[in-house]
Structures are given as structure tokens and as C-alpha cells.
Structure 1
Amino acid sequence: MDKNKIGITYMQEGKWEEAAKIFMEAIEEEPKNPVTYINFGNVLSAVGELEKALSFYKKAIEIDENAAAAYYSAGNLYYEGGNFEEAKNMFEQAMKKGLLSSDNFFMLGMTLLQLDQAKLALPYFQRSVELNEEDVEARFQFGLCLAQQELLDEAMTQFEICIEKDSTHSDAYYNLGVAYGFKEDEKRALEMFNKALEIQPDHMLAGYGKKLIEKEQSDIN
């Protein structure tokens, strides 16, 4: 059986030492195979050896400049380390090299958000959701981006789909509450804030939103 496949099985089982051992054997047998370097980098990343992992991704790119998965994996490491500019470059390179996956579009969108470029992030979240309609987190981020661009109805649609797919998504309920507040539908806003608090009693923003509406209602009465 292919050693890369065996190593991936070990990774799926959480057997990191066994996975590392077999990937090292594979590298010795095929030192010009970029896939093995990427796999070994993924093992190192999983056990927190981030600098070493990055060196293996770079080695894979050195062997094959079109190794899209290496750019993506390096991008994740840069993102986790807070180096968002470098992460952006890696995710863009992965895309240029043909990695048109929902995960890569999502991570590029997240990186652009960290760089305060929400408008540029929007199409990447949209594409991520188109490619994987079940990804609730991508859909939620898409909704937030739409809301930031004042596309309120479109944002609400995304938040509503979020809670259809995950009825415990307190942040989606909270953001629906905010949206209803903007539409001056205080009854629905309060319902959404209460639902968020039911799921997550310590949701500070939902608690604040609820108090604000209740105070306004008591002042009117």
C-alpha cells in the first residue's frame, strides 16, 4: 500500500508518531515527491511544530512550484501566527495554482477580514458558500460581510440559513436581532436576542441588546 495513504490513515486515527515515521520513510524513498513533504508538514503542524512544518511546505514548493496544497497549508500557519499579509499571499498562490476549494476561499476571506478589507473578502465568502452550502461558519462570515456593506436583507437571509442548519448558533440569532433592530422591528429583535441568550446565557452583546430594547419600551410606556 502507498505509504502516503498509510500515513494519512495514521493521521486520521491521531497516531502522529506512526504517521511521522512512515512519511519519513516515504521521503527517503521518493525525495522528489512534494506530496510527502506536505503530509509530513501537516503532521508537524498538528503536533505544534509550526516552524518545522513551514520548512516542509517550503521544500514541497521548491520541488514543485505548482504544489497548491503546500501554499494552502503554509497560509494556514501564517494565519495562525498572525502574519496575515503572508497568509493572504499563500492563499492567493494556492488559488492561482488551481486550488479552488471552499476551504481556500474561506481562509482567503478570513485573512482579508483580518486586514480590514471586508469588501474584498465578500466574493470569497460567497464562493466558499456556493461550493459548500453546509459550511455554517463560512455562511455566517458571508452574512457579516454583507451586513458591513449595508446589504441588510441579504445578510439576514444568510443568518436565517445559519440557524436552519445549526439551531444553536447564538451569534447568528444575535446578528438577526441587530438587523431587526435596524428595521425598527423591536418585537422580532427581542425574540432573536432572547433566543441567543437561551442558547448562550453569557452572550454579552445579546444581553446588552435586550436591555436596550426593554429600556426603550419602558420609557415609551
Structure 2
Amino acid sequence: MSKNKHLCPCGSGKRAKLCCGANAVPTKFVLASSEKLELREAAEALAAKGKHQEASEILERLVKISPQNPLIWNDLGIQYEAAGRTEEAFSALRRGHQADSTYPPIWYNLGKFTLDRFIRLYQSGEMTEVHKEELLKRAIQFLDGNLDRDPENADAHYNLAIAYAFCKDEHRAKAHMAVAVRLGSKYEVPSDWLL
């Protein structure tokens, strides 16, 4: 008798009752690791060609098989966002965060997408002061959460600098921009960014 018969078929390594429970995909539908890898590579290839909708369809299949895998939820969120499906992107990222709240890329993408949403609304003039503060606060919390787990993420430091600039917190904005420039060779301090 197999010692692993009670493990969740999603591949998390946890017991089925504690992992996917009633949502667990029956074992006969579980793909081998090599098949999952092939599907992920196919999704990456489609994304590289700008075919984000097709890439998201592959990732949707994968997430049904491995609903507790934060990496797949994160990739799905990125593809949804690239396809212009912003609300679905946030939903996928939140599901990934529920699956594993320690996975740094999800924290980063939740922060980045929230900041991007803020900037779009800010530029369109469709935002109240309360909504502005709420979005910036959430973006900063997510980006800080990412840096707690991945302190060398230049992108997170850069986006935090932008968020703090919008908050008129010049000290923190400059500090994070300096770290972003030091860590990431692609970053330069934007002109007039604190105005």
C-alpha cells in the first residue's frame, strides 16, 4: 500500500483534506510533472509572441490541476493583465496569495498592478481623495510585503519610490529610488519625478 495515497493530487505535498479538499482533481486527471512543464513552456512561448489570451487558456487548465500552486496563479494573473483582463488578473493573484501567502512574486504583482490602477485613475481624473489614499496604501503594503520576502527586488523598490512620491513622502521615495538604481542597472532617476 502506498504511503502517499492521502496526498493531494495537485502536487502540493499536503494531505488532500488540508489542501484542495472537495476541490481536489481526481488522480486520473493529474498530469505528470514533465507534462505540466511542457504546458508552462507552451504558455511562456505564446506570451512571448504576445498571444496572452492563448497563454492564459493553457494556464487556466494548469490551475485546475494544481489549484494550490501560487506560481501558476501568478503567471495566470500576469497573462490576464497583459490581455487587458484586469479584474481577472487581480482575482488570479488573490487566489495565488490565498494558496501561498509567502510567494514573493504575487506580493510584487499585486502591488504593481494596484499602483498601475492608481496611476490610470489618477491620470484620468476619475478618483476621489479617499480612493487615492486607499489604492496607494494597498500598493505600498503589497510592495513592502514583497521586499520583506525579496529585499533585493529592484522593481519593487522602484515602484515603491513612485508610490511614495505620489504620497508626497519625499524621504522614503528617494531612499527606495536610490536602492532601485543601485540594484537594477536599467533604472535611472526620472526627471522631475517628485513634482
TM-score, with structure 2 as normaliser: 0.68
How many residue pairs match? The answer is: 143
Matched, 1:140 2:186: no
Provide the C-alpha distance between the structure 1 equivalents of 2:104 and 2:43, rounded to a whole number of angstroms.
Answer: 20
Residues 199-210 of structure 1: pairs in structure 2 closer than 5 A: none
Name stretches of at least 5 consecutive residues in structure 1 with no aligned partner.
149-221
Q: Does 1:24 align with 2:60?
A: yes
CA contact (8 A) 2:165 2:193 kept: no
Contact 1:85–1:115 (8 Å) recurs in 2: no
Per-residue CA deviation, residues 44-70 of structure 1 (Å, 9 max, x unaligned), is: 111222111111111111111111111
Specify which of 7, 10, 18 is matched with residue 46 of structure 2. 10
The residue type equivalent to 1:92 in the other structure is D
Write 1 or 2 for the structure with the bigger share of helix. Answer: 1
Residues 155 and 180 of structure 2 are in contact (CA less than 8 Å); yes or no, is this contact kept in structure 1? Answer: yes
Corresponding residue number in structure 2 for 1:176:
none
Aligned-pair distance for 1:17? 2.3
* CA 1:125–1:20: 2 relative to 1, 3 Å: same
1 CA distance for matches of 2:59 and 2:169?
39
Aligned equivalent of 1:49: 85
User: Percent identity over the alignment?
Assistant: 16
Of 114, 128, 143 in structure 2, the residue corresponding to residue 91 of structure 1 is 143
Note the C-alpha offset of 1:144.
5.3
Q: Which has the higher contact order (CA 8 A, sep 6+)?
A: 2
1:113-128 map, 5 Å: 113-128=165-180
Find the residue that maps to 1:81 and give its secondary structure.
helix
Displacement over 6 Å in runs of 4+ = none
Give the whole-Å Cα distance in 1 for the aligned partners of 2:105 and 2:95.
12
2: CA distance between counterparts of 1:89 and 1:101?
A: 15
TM-score (norm 1): 0.60
**Is 1:67 aligned with 2:103?**
yes
Give runs of aligned pairs for residues 165-204 of structure 1, distance below 5 A. Answer: none
**Unaligned regions of 5+ residues in structure 2, if any?**
1-33, 119-134
Residue 104 of structure 1 is matched in structure 2 by 156
TM-superposed CA distance for 1:129, in Å, is: 0.6
